[in-house]
Amino acid sequence: MRLVVYPPDSDPRDLLSADLFRFFVPCAVVLGLTGALALCAAGVPVGSAAAIVLAVLVPVGVFMGFRAAPVNRRAVSLWSCRSAFHVDRAALAAEQRAESLAHVLQSAAEDYRQGRSPHAVLQSEWQAAFDDITSGQARRG
């Protein structure tokens, strides 16, 4: 499990860029394979089809990556990896902490979207989660 929290002071456009870039890679794989297959079905040689797909997708990916890089560099993350074969109490605690923070952030965002709380409450919860993860990384680092 991985929880990524972007800096609360981030520009909304930068957050959108980071979200779009996060979805770009899986979409590019699907679109690239589909496009290459379609080109091959239309009679384009495999090497040429691959070159065409790469010529379209790579520049888009590079552009999106540069747009998302500033906010991604400042993001903090909390992750946990557990095995069914070995009980790891520290990993379980990290997973529960990540789930708890995610729940708090989701609830605060939903309350803000529904008009049940002001933006300041969302901002406060977001900052608290960011600080919590940041301070945990500093203790381990």
CA nearest neighbour of 3 among 136, 137, 133, 125: 133
Indicate the pTM of the whole model: 0.75
pLDDT over 80 (residue 130): yes
The whole-number pLDDT of residue 138 equals 47
pLDDT tens, position by position, 14-54: 999 999 999 999 999 999 999 999 999 999 999 999 999 99
The answer for residues whose C-beta is within 8 angstroms of residue 19's C-beta and 6 or more apart is none
Measured CA distances, 44 to 47, 48, 63, 64 (Å):
8, 6, 27, 28
Tell me the domain boundaries of the chain.
1-74, 77-141
Confidence band for 59, pLDDT divided at 50, 70 and 90: very high
Q: Mean of the pLDDT values across residues 2-7? A: 92
The answer for residues whose C-beta is within 8 angstroms of residue 136's C-beta and 6 or more apart is 78
- Which three-class secondary structure state does DSSP give residue 4? strand
pLDDT tens, position by position, 71-125: 999 999 988 887 778 778 888 888 899 999 999 999 999 999 999 999 999 999 9
pLDDT over 80 (residue 141): no
* Residue 10 host element (H or E): none
pLDDT over 80 (residue 137): no
